Amino acid sequence: MAIERPTDPYPDQSWAGWGDSTQVPALSDQILGLLRDGLGVKQPGRTAGDLDDVCLASGRLGENALDALREAVGADHVLTDAAARIRHTRGKSTPDLLRARAGDLAAAPDVVLAPASHDQVLSILEVCSQRRVAVVPFGGGTSVTGALEPVTEGYEGLVALDLRRMNALVSLDEVSRVAELEPGLRGPEAEALLGARGFTIGHFPQSFEYATLGGFAAARSSGQASAGYGRFDDLVLGLRVATPKGTLELGRAPKSAAGPDLRQLILGSEGAFGVITGLRVQVRPAPAACLYEGWRFESFSAGAKVMRHLVQDGPQPTVLRLSDEAETALNLAQPTELGSGSGAGCLAIVGYEGDEADVTDRSGRASGVLQDAGAVKAAGAGEHWARERYRGPYLRDALLDAGALVETLETVTLWSGLDDLYQAVVGALRDSLTAQGTPPVVLCHISHVYRSGASLYFTVGCAQLEDPVGQWRMAKAAASDAILSAGGSISHHHGVGTDHLDWYEREIGELGVEILQAVKRTLDPDWILNPGVLVRR
C-alpha cells in the first residue's frame, strides 16, 4: 500500500484552554447557583485574553544555532513567532491553564521545530546536544502532569519538537493485523485512515480528539474502552526511536524471550530517553455493532463488586466504568438522562463493541449478572455517555471561567485495597482544601479494570483562592501522599512528568532511580531530552 496521510488541516488548540474554544458551554443559572451556594464561589476566575495581546520575551537562541536548526529541518519549519511558541507552552492541566491565563509564559520554548522524518529528528538532536539546547518532544500538547515543562536552567535554550508532520499510515499488514504508523497522527486521524480499510486501534481516551499516537505510547495512555481493547502500551508491538546516541529499533514479534523487553524502557518514558518516530500497533476489525448501557447500583462498593466479577469471571464488556454516589448525584452535564431515581446510588456505564452476535451474546449474559446483583437499568445513560465522553475538559474551562477550581487526578491498586485507597484520597483532598478555607466536592469513578485491580479517577471542585495554583499544589501533595500510604501507584495513565516526580521516586526507590539515571546517561549523555521529566540528575 502507498503511504497515506490525513487531508484535513491540523487543528490548533486554544492557547489557554482545551481544544476548540467555541465549544466551551455556557453555564446555566442552576449550576452557577450551585457554585455560589455549594462551593462558595464569589467571583469569576481569570479568563483567557486574545492571543495577539500576549507579551512574550524574545527567544534566547542566537542566529548560529537557528541556522544549524534550519539546515536540519528546513527554514520553513523553524518557527520563532510568538503564537507558535505560546501554543507549545506547557500542557493542559488546570495549573497550566491558570498560569497561562495569568500571563505566566516563562516556560515558552525559544523555537518550535517541525521535522518530517526520523533522520531530521536525529539531526535536531545532534545540533541540540552540541549546543546544549533542551528538547521537549511535542505531540498533541495534552499532558496534565508537567511533562511539557522541562527544567531549562543551565541550558542555552529550549526547543519544542512538534511531530505533526510525521503523520502517516505507512503500512497495514491485514494478515497479522498490525499497522505501521507515525507518531504525529492524532487519534481521530489514525482512526479515519484505518477505518477506511475496516480496522480500528480501539484507543479512545478523553484526550482522543487532540492527543497523538506518540503521546499515547510515551505516557502509557489508557482508553475508555480499555476493558475490551487493552491499554495503548498493550497494543504497541514495535517502536522506532531517535536518541542523541542513535537509533533504536525495538520489537520484532508480539512476544519474545530474547532478554528484557526494551520496548518497556520507551513506553512511558515521556520523551526523556528518546523521540518515538514510528510505531507498529495491533489493530482489530472495526466493530459492526456498539451498545452502551447505564446501570444503577445502591452503592459504590456494591457496584465495584459486580465490576470485579465481570472482569474476573466474565462476560467481559468492552467499556466498564462506575461513578461513586457524589459523581452520580451531581452529574452536572445532564442529570435527567440517568433515568428514574437518578439522585440515588451509583451509575455504571457498561459497553460492548464487536460483531452483532458477539454484542448480543455478551450484553445478554452480562445483563443477567447485573440484574442478579440488584442493578437497575438507567435509561439513556449509556447513550448520553457515548455522546458526551469528550466534553469534560470543556466543562472544566467553563467552571474555571466562573471562579471554581476544578482538577483531576488518578491512581490504581489491587481490588482488595480499592476501598482503603478511595477513602484515603477523598479524605486527604477534603482535609487539605477545607483547611485552606475552600471545602470541596470530590467525585470519583472506576475508569479502568483488570482481573487483579482497578484505577480510581477523582475530580475535585472548590472555590478558587487568590493563588489557585498554590492551592491545588497543596491539595495534590496531600492526595499523593495518601496514594502511596494506601498502597496505590502515583499514576495509572496520566504519567509522571514533573508533577509526580517526587512520589514516583518514592514509589520505585533509590535503586530504581539509579537504573533510570543510567539509561538516561547512556541514551542522552548531554541530558537534553526533557530534562527533569521522569528522571533527574
Separation in Å, CA 203 to CA 208, 214, 255, 313: 8, 13, 21, 24
Residue 457 among the catalytic residues: yes
Grid cell of 247 as nine digits: 537509533
In angstroms, the CA 222 to CA 232 distance is 6
**Sequence-distant contacts of 389-392: CB under 8 A, at least 24 apart:** 389/204, 389/206, 389/224, 390/206, 390/208, 390/209, 391/23, 391/25, 391/333, 392/206
Strand 275-282 and strand 178-181: pairing?
antiparallel
What stretches of 346-397 adopt beta strand conformation (E)? Answer: 346-354, 376-377
Are the CB atoms for 111 and 69 separated by under 8 Å? yes
Are the CB atoms for 158 and 105 separated by under 8 Å? no
Other beta carbons less than 10 A from residue 191's beta carbon: 19
Grid cell of 407 as nine digits: 482538577
In angstroms, the CA 494 to CA 513 distance is 19
In angstroms, the CA 535 to CA 502 distance is 10
In angstroms, the CA 425 to CA 429 distance is 6
Separation in Å, CA 283 to CA 87, 107, 200, 201, 239: 32, 37, 6, 5, 15
In angstroms, the CA 515 to CA 198 distance is 42
DSSP 207: T
Grid cell of 462 as nine digits: 472548590
Closest CA to 454 of 305, 346, 291: 305
Cis omega (within 30 of 0) for bond into 95: no
Which of the residues 352, 390, 394, 457 is marked catalytic?
A: 457
Annotated catalytic residues are 457
